[in-house]
Structure 1
Amino acid sequence: MSRQTTSARDRQLHEQLCDSAQRLQKGVNQLTFDEPITHVYNPLDYAWDLHRQYIEQLSAKADVLLLGMNPGPWGMAQTGVPFGEIAAVRDWMGIEGEVGSVEAEHPKRPIEGLNCQRSEVSGRRLWGLMQERYQKPKAFFRKHFVVNYCPLVFMEASGRNRTPDKLPAEERSALQEHCDRHLREVIELLPWKYLIGVGAFAENCLKRVADESETAPAIARILHPSPASPAANRDWAGTAASQLQTIGVW
């Protein structure tokens, strides 16, 4: 395949993924959430330019899809990038730009974009492992891509993060309809060999959405890098690398 053809295929993929992400963005914006949720952020709104730059990292040669749950307050909430640790996004991926504001900002969770001084531990661990193994982002994205299942950040009055699996059944079902559709579209973009859930929630989403035919991608899971997990605090990078080797990805 010529370099020009590959480049054209990449651009087509980027357009398709941008269209899918914007459908997700508009769909979830129509949803409402009751207490204890008091604030909801959608980075696909105010950090769209950075998210679009992230999408443009995707290569048509990628065959490993890693799926996270939803944005963290100091990661994707700031950068529009899944597990979006500031240093990884700005200094490693080379993504730059300003982010907008949210209409109702929680005082404990300000949106500062790439100027945010807080660190997203999960993102630092995940992207740190990828940087250590691949050195250059192009080498990583040639084979892998990372997406989040849900684009929304949910916060309680205290500023505490609430994950999608903790939503009431009715709200969770309405959200799932939009997120499942987007995930299905992402899976259909490329002939993935591996669908990897970063944590059990993401793995279950993949099992629910993915085709179960004999030619379907292998579905597996790696440990989530959250500092709330005691196992992740005991050498997450070593555990995740070992799991990816066992699965056959590395």
Structure 2
Amino acid sequence: MNRPATKRRTTNRDVRDQLCNAAQRLREKVNSLNFDEPITHVYNPLDYAWDLHRLYIEQVSAKAEVLMLGMNPGPWGMAQTGVPFGEVAAVRDWMGIQGVVGSVESEHPKRPIEGLECQRSEVSGRRLWGLMQERFQKPSAFFKKHFVLNYCPLVFMEASGRNRTPDKLPAEERNSLQQCCDEHLREVIDLLPWKHLIGVGAFAEGCLKRVVDDEQSSATIARILHPSPASPAANRDWAGTASSQLQTLGVW
């Protein structure tokens, strides 16, 4: 008598391997893009900080149900560590991620890549990961149900060293980048039965709404306040505001 086929359980290894493969495909696609002035320097931490990014992916669990999405790396965060919102102390001391970060081919003198030796602190990352550390204590407790991803892996800089976000790119460049990043985001969303898709800021929420098929996904799409110090609201107890938002959404 033939037994009915049983569906193979998705393991942590399955999820981690697929996330790594998806990130590598994204890396190659965005590396093929060209950006003109006023952009003079483009960093891709999925290249020079790949070893640390891979170790970050090793934290994720097949039981994760909350995906939190940021925009793109900050110069003192993921640009240094390869980790979304990757404030150095959080990555090195809390997550326990160690490794050597390589160099970029054309480095901006005001934005050196120093890896885990960087003395600058990414405020957004310090706020976000500081909240997670305070609430969950151990990274394993956080990653059991949560994962943080950046929509775009690239850092864009002007000649002055000023950061330029993806939404400020010319339309043609923005559209080409969006095609690559949307495809990657769909892959990640399709990987697990997420219950909550949370944009960290309005831009990320918009990306989630654009790529998610409402008819095929039962996940709740929402946003929390971005922890950027450029936001007056974020400077007035961001952790308290974000916690309250996540509680209202039923995430916490």
- What TM-score, normalized to structure 1? 0.96
Q: What corresponds to 1:211 in structure 2?
A: 213
1:89-134 deviation line (CA, Å, top 9, x unaligned): 0000000000100000000000000000000000000000000000
State the distance in 2 between where 1:107 and 1:17 align: 33
Q: What corresponds to 1:151 in structure 2?
A: 153
What displacement does 1:216 show?
A: 2.2
Q: How do residues 76-225 of structure 1 correspond to structure 2 at under 5 angstroms?
A: 76-213=78-215, 215-225=217-227
State the distance in 2 between where 1:211 and 1:147 align: 19
Give the AA of the match of 1:116: C
Q: What corresponds to 1:38 in structure 2?
A: 40
Segments ≥4 residues shifted beyond 2 Å: none
Give the AA of the match of 1:140: F
State the distance in 2 between where 1:214 and 1:243 align: 25
SS in 1 for 2:162: coil
What displacement does 1:211 show?
A: 1.7
Give the AA of the match of 1:181: E
State the distance in 1 between where 2:218 and 2:169 align: 30
What displacement does 1:213 show?
A: 1.6
SS in 1 for 2:198: strand
SS in 1 for 2:163: coil
Give the AA of the match of 1:129: L
Q: What corresponds to 1:13 in structure 2?
A: 15
Q: What corresponds to 2:5 in structure 1?
A: none
Structure 2 unpaired stretches of 5+:
1-7
Give the paired residue count.
245
Q: How do residues 55-94 of structure 1 correspond to structure 2 at under 5 angstroms?
A: 55-94=57-96
Q: What corresponds to 1:241 in structure 2?
A: 243
Give the AA of the match of 1:23: R
What displacement does 1:214 show?
A: 6.6
Identity over aligned pairs, percent: 81
Change beyond 3 A, Cα 1:186–1:215: closer
Give the AA of the match of 1:91: D
Give the AA of the match of 1:52: R
Match of 1:49 among 48, 51, 57: 51
What displacement does 1:12 show?
A: 1.0
State the distance in 2 between where 1:202 and 1:194 align: 13
Give the AA of the match of 2:29: G
Match of 2:30 among 25, 28, 36: 28
What displacement does 1:215 show?
A: 4.4
1:190-240 deviation line (CA, Å, top 9, x unaligned): 000000000000000000001212742000000000000000000000000
Give the AA of the match of 1:162: R
Give the AA of the match of 2:120: R
State the distance in 2 between where 1:214 and 1:111 align: 41
Considering only CA atoms, is the larger Rg found in Structure 1 or Structure 2?
2
CA RMSD, aligned part only? 1.1
State the distance in 2 between where 1:110 and 1:37 align: 17
State the distance in 2 between where 1:181 and 1:9 align: 23
SS in 2 for 1:31: coil
State the distance in 2 between where 1:224 and 1:213 align: 28
Give the AA of the match of 1:169: A
